[in-house]
Chain A
Amino acid sequence: MLFTATYAVYAVAGTLYLVFFTSQNKKVRATARKILLGAGILHTITIIARYIAAGHTPLTTHHDTVSFFAWAVTWAFLSFRWRYQIKNFGTFVSLVILALMTVALCSSRVINELPPALQSLWLPIHASIAIAANGFLALGFCGGIMYLLQDRELKKKRFGLFYHRLPSLESLDQLSQHCLTIGFPLLTLGIMTGSLWAKQAWGAYWQWDPKETWSLITWLVYAGLLHQRFAIGWRGRRTAIMSIIGFAAVLFTLWGVNFLLSGAHSYVR
């Protein structure tokens, strides 16, 4: 019930952001921001309620994981808003949040018994760090998409929907760099804590199950991107594409692995 309410508030915020995107009416944006903040707070309450209902950190079902992912994106975005503003960023981010929330809405909310292997303090630490990393990487993904859209209009010299509405290439490039410099360390930390937990639960730091392998692939994509950026000076279109590929790897690690491949993580459904 609480979740459905949260979803509805997100939907309102997302719609308002879309209205703002087409009309560019600043009053609409101000309202959309407040509603998104409200949704973020309501979502926090929902997660706490889930925690109480489950008796442990609610990150073991697919519904909870994706819901927490959306929560992380929301708060990553809201925390960014404190520091600086990116024109129309909210529209893109709220669409991603809404998409994640829709997935969460459609998946089963039954709380299953926690297998003994997962009953550890590492659960909240590992899972929340990993998903928080995903939150920032999702913002980087939005930045990448916006960069490509703006770059395309500037190169083709056809000024359509996005030219006036999106900020400068420079600020979009900076945005993805910021997201990456926060998201990547978190991702690294997430993998490390996962490894420690694996040692405790299964006796080995690393056993090449698909989830681990794909996390590593994701990590390598982002590591490569950061390396190219700082060592060679990659920027602009190429880094934007890389951050989109990286995020695709994040999503595959989250879903593709669960549904297409099976492994030690597969009871997280």
Chain B
Amino acid sequence: MRQLTFAGGIHPPDNKEWSADKPIEACPLPAEFVVPLSQHIGAPATPCVAAGDSVARGQIIGEAHGFVSVPVHAPTSGEVVVVEPRPHPSGALLPAVVIRADGEDRWGDFPKPEPLSGLEPEDIVEQIRLAGVVGMGGATFPAHVKLSPPAEKPIDTVILNGVECEPYLTADHRLMLEEADRLLDGVGVLQKIFPDARVVIGIEANKPDAIAHLQQRCADSSVEVVPLEVKYPQGAEKQLIKAVTGREVPSGGLPMDIGVVVQNVGTVAAIADAVLRNLPLTERVCTVTGSAITEAKNLRIRIGIPLSHLVDVCGGLTAEPGKIILGGPMMGAAQVGLDVPTTRGTSGLLLLTETDLALRETEPCIRCARCVQACPANLLPTTIAAYGRLDRLDEAEQYRALDCIECGCCSYSCPAAIPLVQTIRYAKAAILARKRSG
């Protein structure tokens, strides 16, 4: 079958073989959970429990604030130890609810789910919001917002993102192989919300088993399973839409502007749990991998597990890690230590040695244009970064810095090891800050 794709991009070694064949294992529960109240893009949740309260799994411990926000739930049953700022994957100290597990892992009492046929789209979306479902590919954008397009923006295509183009990560791959039921249940829910939409599951061609499995499972339905060319960032939302539909999300716009909704496959499985089983999001699949870990694994993890616990579960470290990364090596976030907790966006814990990092001094740009060829947003990264370095924000903006999707292809391919995307990221933040202050 023809492989769809986008223009630009790179081919990093995918290093998925370490964990691709490892079935999902349930991660043993730690004694203590640290549940950040800020786990999504948008306003953080407000704590609604206090030290000494006992909580059940799935109970709301943080209330949502505003439309682009979701509540936070207890990942297990136990007692709230304290609500205080704790190290957060963002690098800051942010409010978190610390829960001492009671070992019973008891679910709260939730009403029996209504049958899907009796639900209106608005009720479904509200259930998804209350269950705390966010984009689980790593962006953690609240799912219900994407599922609530205004009436003037009809949705004709729903794309399930099973691309997993980040090297090393195999969580979505395993989920598609092992939990197709949950995934397809979720498709049913999405079809209830968008009854007329074409549903496409996009999977990178390096996962032929997942493609074959889902194609077989979808043989009798209208759901299309399409293989996509193996190229990073094939799973970036705009690039995926371009590959599948040929449409481009307008600069500064959203997929819904061109009638498309994209959800990560993990998110869709969580939507099924939320709507059909009335279970809030308290766990996800996460790949623990990298050359500094003893045994790479795909783990079903709860939210709020300290990373050190995941390392122990995977047999400990084999080497001094040079970097601790939450997510993949291209867009993941480096961590200061292993005391930060997992969140809903933790698609992977990657422990790289210093050798993997290939650290180098920056050299002068030789204008080789590899960044230009690699840029999937079709920008001139070297030019924007040069202006960013000089704080010439007008020029950086004029060269469309704000259209950068921060995929990192430019920095990856730069022979002079210039921190291109890092500088562009800085320029974007400075441009946006200037806009906000008027």
A and B pair up:
no
Q: Which residues of A contact B (CB under 8 A)?
A: none
